[in-house]
Amino acid sequence: MNVLITGGTRGIGAALADRFRANGDDVLAPGSRELPMQDPKAITTFCKDISNLNILVCNAGVYPDHGQTLETGYSPDDWANTFAINVTGVFLTIQACLPALRAAQNAKIVIISSQMASDTRAPGGSYIYRASKAAVLNLGRNLSSDLKPDGIPVGIYHPGYVRTEMGGSNADISVAESADGMMERINALSLGTTGEFLTWDGRIHPY
């Protein structure tokens, strides 16, 4: 299979790339330098030569507002840059890859969201990141409807609270645990489960 993983040079993205390669798949796993998600032209240029794509994993993301305070944080630049990467970049990557996805058999789209996207889980803080992940969850849900006639399922996943640079050393699970669970979710993704918001270990996450 041909696989593209954005944000694929570290953390969960790199671990997923390793697992796909171990299965014998051809993997493109660019980092932010090779594929800057806030640059629409770069996305178009990168994706235009991909002719056949079985799995697209939209994993790249940023979390600039961790620990910021309501009184002094959450700058307009942080809002704009986070949404450019976490939401617009995801949409533009999917849009640019649609011809290659439609050309493949049994193509799948995977969107990495977060439990912080949930409206029912709202402990406060991290307003920019929460809003961006809620937006990309909504994006995935709507794409799942529009792409169902094409036979392309869309899975939206919370990868767990993972011990990465973003999650920190006190997070709940290792990168390996998250990646193993995510591989199970990707393998199980079908038109019957398209649009579902699931945790890394297969539980339905509340919206």
CA 68 to chain centre: 24
Ranges of residues in the chain with a pLDDT under 50 are none
Nearest to 64 by CA among 73, 55, 53: 73
pLDDT at residue number 169? 61
pLDDT at residue number 102? 97
Q: What are phi and psi of 180, to 5 degrees?
A: -60, -45
pLDDT at residue number 162? 73
Per residue in 43-84, pLDDT (tens digit) is: 999 999 999 999 999 999 999 998 899 999 999 999 999 999
Cβ atoms 103, 52 nearer than 8 A: yes
pLDDT at residue number 114? 92
pLDDT at residue number 174? 87
Q: Find where tokens 């640019």 sit.
A: 96
Residue ranges per structural domain of the chain:
2-199
pLDDT at residue number 171? 61
pLDDT at residue number 3? 98
- CATH 3.40.630.40 is the classification of domain 2-199: no
pLDDT at residue number 128? 97
